[in-house]
Chains A and B, each alone.
Chain A
Amino acid sequence: MNSYRIKAASDSNGKVGDHFVSGGKFVKEGELANDAQVIDAKGLTILPGFVDLHTHLREPGKEDAETVLTGSMAAAAGGFTAISAMPNTLPVADTAGVVEQVYRLGKHHGICDVYPIGAVTVGQRGQVLAELSAMNQSEAGVRIFSDDGYCVYDPLVMRRALEYVKTFDGIIAQHAQDPRLTEDSQMNEGEVSARLGLKGWPAVAEEAVIARDVLLAEHVDSRLHICHVTTAGGVEIVRNAKRRGIMVTAEVTPHHLLLTDDLAESYNPVYKVNPPLRTRNDVQALREGLADGTIDIIATDHAPHPHESKDCEWDAAAFGMIGLETAFSISYQVMVETKLLTLAQLVDRLSKIPAQIGRYEDHGSIDEGMAANFTLADLGARWQVERSKLESKSRNTPFDGLDLPGVISKTFHNGVLVYERKSK
């Protein structure tokens, strides 16, 4: 088994010290084997591996965009040690068989933990509940369910799903999007969409569903997670719901923390994403919501697409952006460099809190006895995003060419070095 002495790394609070890894766990110095490999981490920061609750791995069915393997490699390159595979694959992950397949592929590759998210409804069609218990009791142990890409729009289906998953401490992750208000919608509805002649996607289409669902979660006393909040109004609804004691958690993506709808002026479909990029005012509200804990976590919504799906007219292009490899750097830039969060607070939102929401017990901490899932980052260094050099199989990053702070140097999964940045 790999054994490491990580020397002189600083932790997220700035405390410098040695960390010891053996048998896949963080151990006391005395438990370290004599032949432990020494890693000089002077100048680097040791952080618990990041945990993504919203990842699209595309396997099975769309392996031209991403596979469990390439997605895992992208995750490791971004400092993630756990990712959560959304069920909108072909076939849809709505049975124990499919979630087990994805889970085993993750285990087989062994680069990070791949936790499948099960579909709430059969075929993600929003009508009939999928066999949620069977997916939970499978080897994959699914706890999070989502029809992501589609909203669980029928209020009765949503209510039943919220109630049903209480039997095994499950959680419904809602993609909040009123389908009627967003038919053929292409981008945020506002001044820019009006000018560009692209069909608008009103903020209320997201907010109305969030409002309904927090009330449903309150009524049936169940756990609700709101995927990718994008609007100032949505943040306010979640803030009020938390004040009322409703068990709601929420995520925001790095791209919604940085980018705004005016980027669509280029008609470059790399900026086409669901939910859409919003206004500067929304971006500010999202940052503040993340800072004050209204929004609990950052999640990537890593959504790979093959080149031809983005190399076409805006209307015809696919929705989505990749984000695993840039998530930490973008988040660090918009939240820590702006002093909205400390490094430790940011890392909680990228690691500890998502691990708690998903009940991913082997993640979120670098304390002794914990599984050795961690990353070493050089926070003083910068790097330039080059889409052709990313580990993901797809190239649809909106951040190509950006110069970003925070270089992921090494990532360890269960005590094994799974990623090391190539020196230039």
Chain B
Amino acid sequence: MKHLLSINDLSKDEAIEILDTAAELARLAEGAVKKFPTLRGRTVVNLFFEDSTRTRISFEAAAKRLSADVINFAAKGSSLSKGESLKDTALTLQAMGADAVVIRHSASGAAHQLAKQEWMKGVVINAGDGTHEHPTQALLDAFTIRRHLKGSEGDLSGIKVGIVGDILHSRVARSNILLLKKLGAEVVLIAPPTLIPVGVSQWGVDVSYSLDDQIKSLEVIIVLRVQKERMNDLYFPTEREYARGYGLNSERMEGMKDKAIVMHPGPMNRGLEISADSADSARSVIVEQVANGVSVRMAVLYLLLGGATFKELSSSGENL
């Protein structure tokens, strides 16, 4: 694994290695030392063409806990908005000597191009590209599920996960589907037909148009954010009608399995896709997802950048 662009870049073993490493890092962080010297001298650039405070600070915290130098590059605009092109930005970062670039971009495939076009040499980590993928979100979701339902060990076999909402436009859903299936979970997509992509039959998942039919059979429900603007593109008639059919609320949650958990990648539209009492319920692990995000991103940075550096550091220490 040279880059992390898509969940498809990971084998099942590599995915589990990331989860195990994240678990170990989380355990260590509970001790006295919260910061590790692993990435000292390395530069991690957070290249965000799209605003996403929570993902950016999560990567920033992860990199800093590994002692990397962090540069936040909030690129205003892109080729699409006639700003600086992705290529020129990449050449600039290359000139500055970035060891890893964490990229968030509104265009699907932007991370892929950054890695494959040879504009720069560093490691590329996809922090969300258009409506394509968001692999670290899927890893942190899998981490959270595993922690609650599998004792933080092994894969996710035997677990049924429902993903509810705007599958069509969701990079979180795409990465989650790939990873959950890779780890042996059963996946059902729950949404109105307008928000299910044409071609979904090839994905090896079940599709349901009814949350009420599915909710009692799920160990995990992942509620996706619904952009209010989707209404204007005729994906559903009104927010109220969407909430009535697909919004998670305490009434709907009655009869869920004992240990079932509720997840949301954030930021939430309380009252639209999830009610306040559901978001704050005992089943909700939404806040924990955020904490786990830091551990998982530390693991990704560590495994993509860390090993060699750690050796370099210790050997140069001996030479001194």
Contact = CB atoms under 8 A, between A and B. Distances in A.
Interface stretch (A5-13, A20-28, A192-200, A409-417): A192-200
Contact of B108 (A190, A198, A266, A311): A198
A325 interface: no
B199 A313 contact: no
A277 B202 CA distance: 19
Mostly, the A contact residues are: loop
B198 A202 contact: yes
B158 interface: no
Nearest to B132: A197
Given A197-B132, A198-B109, A312 B86 contact: yes
A125 to B, nearest CB: 23
Interface string A186-221: 000111111111111010000000000000000000
Interface string B21-40: 00000000000000000000
A202 B132 CA distance: 18
B107 A313 contact: yes
A194 B108 contact: no
Interface string B168-186: 0001001000000000000
Contacts of B78: 313, 316
Contacts of A312: 79, 85-87
B99 interface: no
B110 interface: yes
Contacts of B132: 196-198
A12 B171 CA distance: 53
B282 interface: no
Contacts of A266: 112, 116
Contacts of A316: 78-80, 107
A267 B109 contact: yes
Interface residues of A, number: 22
Interface in A330-378: none
A194 B197 CA distance: 6
Given A189-B198, A311-B87, A316-B79, A195 B174 contact: yes
A314 interface: yes
Contacts of B130: 197-198, 315
Interface string A152-193: 000000000000000000000000000000000000011111
Interface in B68-125: 78-80, 85-87, 105-110, 112-113, 116-117
Could you say which of A192, A200, A312, A313 has the most chain B C-beta atoms within 10 Å of its C-beta? A313
Interface residues of B, number: 30
Interface string A220-247: 0000000000000000000000000000
Contacts of B199: 189-195, 200
A192 B202 CA distance: 9
B200 interface: yes
B272 to A, nearest CB: 23
A266 B107 CA distance: 14
A262 to B, nearest CB: 12
Contacts of B174: 195, 197
A76 B106 CA distance: 42
A98 to B, nearest CB: 28
Interface in B177-232: 197-203
A191 B198 CA distance: 7
Contacts of A192: 199
A313 B79 contact: yes
B131 interface: yes
A200 to B, nearest CB: 6
Contacts of A195: 174, 199, 202-203
B198 A313 contact: no
B198 A197 contact: no
A177 B23 CA distance: 52
B127 to A, nearest CB: 14
Contacts of A200: 197-199
A158 to B, nearest CB: 25
A210 B113 CA distance: 36
Nearest to A316: B79
Contacts of B141: none
Given A313-B110, A313-B113, A315-B80, A194 B198 contact: yes
A314 B108 contact: yes
B86 A197 contact: no
Interface of B: 78-80, 85-87, 105-110, 112-113, 116-117, 129-133, 171, 174, 197-203
14 contacts: A189-B199, A190-B199, A193-B199, A194-B199, A194-B200, A195-B203, A197-B171, A197-B174, A198-B130, A311-B85, A313-B110, A313-B113, A314-B107, A315-B106
Interface of A: 189-200, 202, 266-267, 308, 311-316
Given A193-B198, A315-B130, 19 more contacts: A190-B199, A192-B199, A193-B197, A194-B198, A195-B202, A196-B109, A197-B109, A197-B133, A202-B198, A267-B109, A312-B79, A312-B87, A313-B78, A313-B105, A313-B110, A314-B107, A314-B108, A315-B108, A316-B78
- For the complex of A and B, the 9 pairs showing the least CB-CB separation, nearest first, are A267-B109, A197-B132, A194-B197, A191-B199, A313-B107, A197-B131, A194-B199, A316-B79, A197-B108
